């Protein structure tokens, strides 16, 4: 094999597994997919995560392995719940990759989230090797994620390895200028990754509801917009550190006091009467719910000039048409960027899918929270566990 890229150093890959002919292999996937009712029958609404695992499953089958796949689905709270049966997923998996067995929902057993050694023992019983293909839960120290590599020859699947290679490369040697666009609701969830990326990026653009805590930290009046008072000082310190330019909204689309709630946008109205484009100072009672056109242009100009772009999180309440324009404008700029573009899971993926732009993005991550934690900390529990497997490169 060729030398591993730096982010993959020490990580066992599929080629590091022993001979698999006739052997039983346990594969941890992330099949936590949306479901919907199709005439009284529950079916998978979006099979992206299932399709993403197929190359690894086929590689194992081609080498004579007998493959058992395991995953969680929903939040069944440690007990069987018919609403979260894997049956619809099994039906779709059988269509995409026949010949593999799908175990029942891992979270039907409380031992999964508790990382119970007894549950790990039951999970690996009868298996000869383990593959982790579940980047979406790689930041969780759950039994099926960190337990099997202590007991079996193990490997990162193709998808997991690619996620680590791409996202780790953003920390290692991104083409410059390196532009980061972060949105979403909670500043607490992303403050750590803002710090980490601000030390590496050339520009960090912050939108979404989390931007209002930054604006409030600078002394702006933000009306009824969402603010996290517990992190005002953290935001102020980050802005004053001067490590990297942090772009904040200079205008916003705001909802007037008593305006229609989210999801009730009137059809065919360009700028509904209950919304208004305001500057960074927002009057009492008004709630900022999207970046304004001036901000969207500034973010897009930074993206257009980038050698590398990482985007995670919508820039407004894009599920409501009144507050979707900012996210759409920046999404189109990311898709048109000549540099290397990475979209980091979650609602930002939904936005590019909705706009039909996914094929214009160089890499779309399957893990929102996992991608942010990897970029913040440089490692994840799943990766540490795999590096400790008995067949890992350099293992004694």
> What pLDDT sits at residue 3?
57
pLDDT of 267 reads 44
Q: What is the pLDDT of residue 4?
A: 67
- Measure CA of the first residue to CA of the last residue in the chain; give whole Å: 20
Helix (H, G, I), strand (E, B) or coil at 150: helix
Place of tokens 């991550």: 365
Do residues 112 and 72 make contact, with C-beta atoms less than 8 angstroms apart? yes
**Residue 266: alpha-carbon gap to chain centroid:** 31
pLDDT of res. 190: 87
pLDDT of residue 8: 86
DSSP state of 356: T
Note the pLDDT of residue 270. 55
Residues forming CATH 3.40.50.1260 domain(s) in the chain: 6-163+379-387, 176-338
Q: Which of 208, 212, 206, 207 is nearest to 225 (CA)?
A: 212
Q: Which residues contact 197 (CB under 8 A, 6 or more apart)?
A: 180, 182, 204, 244, 310, 375
176-338: CATH topology is Rossmann fold (3.40.50)
Consecutive sets of 10 residues in the chain, 396 residues long: mean pLDDT of each? 69 97 98 90 91 97 98 95 96 97 97 98 98 96 98 97 94 93 88 90 95 96 95 93 89 92 58 85 95 98 97 92 94 97 84 89 89 92 97 82
pTM of the model: 0.89
CATH superfamily of 6-163+379-387: Phosphoglycerate kinase, N-terminal domain (3.40.50.1260)
pLDDT number for residue 205 = 97
Backbone angles phi, psi at 65, to 5 degrees: -75, 150
Output the pLDDT for position 271. Answer: 59
């Amino acid at each position: 094999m060729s030398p591993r890229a730096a982010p993959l150093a020490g990580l066992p890959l599929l080629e590091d597994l022993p001979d698999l002919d006739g052997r039983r292999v346990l594969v941890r996937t992330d099949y936590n997919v949306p479901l919907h009712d199709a005439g009284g029958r529950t079916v998978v609404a979006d099979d992206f995560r299932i399709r993403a695992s197929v190359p690894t499953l086929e590689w194992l089958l081609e080498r004579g392995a007998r493959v058992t796949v395991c995953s969680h689905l929903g939040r069944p709270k440690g007990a069987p719940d018919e609403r979260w049966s894997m049956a619809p997923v099994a039906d779709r998996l059988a269509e995409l990759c026949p010949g593999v067995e799908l175990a029942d929902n891992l979270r039907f057993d409380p031992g999964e989230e508790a990382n119970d050694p007894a549950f790990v023992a039951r999970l690996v019983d009868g298996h000869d090797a383990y593959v982790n293909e579940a980047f979406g839960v790689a930041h969780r120290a759950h039994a099926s994620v960190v337990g099997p590599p202590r007991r079996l020859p193990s490997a990162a699947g193709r998808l997991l390895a690619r996620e680590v290679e791409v996202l780790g490369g953003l920390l290692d040697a991104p083409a410059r200028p390196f532009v980061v666009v972060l949105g979403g609701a909670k500043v607490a969830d992303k403050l750590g990754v803002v710090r980490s990326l601000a030390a590496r990026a050339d520009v960090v653009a912050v939108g979404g509801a989390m931007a209002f805590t930054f604006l409030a930290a600078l002394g702006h009046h933000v009306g009824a917009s969402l603010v996290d008072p517990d992190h005002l000082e953290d935001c102020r310190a980050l802005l004053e550190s001067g490590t990297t330019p942090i772009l904040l909204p200079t205008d916003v689309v705001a909802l007037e006091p008593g305006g229609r709630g989210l999801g009730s946008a009137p059809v065919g109205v360009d700028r509904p009467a209950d919304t208004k484009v305001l500057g960074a100072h927002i009057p009492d009672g008004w709630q900022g719910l999207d970046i304004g056109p001036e901000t969207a242009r500034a973010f897009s100009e930074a993206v257009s000039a980038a050698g590398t772009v990482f985007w995670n999180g919508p820039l407004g309440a894009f599920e409501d048409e009144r507050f979707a324009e900012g996210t759409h404008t920046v999404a189109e700029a990311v898709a048109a960027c000549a540099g290397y573009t990475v979209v980091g899971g979650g609602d930002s993926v939904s936005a590019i899918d909705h706009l039909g732009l996914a094929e214009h993005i160089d890499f779309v991550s399957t893990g929102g929270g996992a991608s942010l934690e990897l970029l913040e900390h440089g490692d994840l529990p799943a990766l540490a566990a795999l590096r400790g497997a008995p067949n890992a490169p350099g293992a004694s």
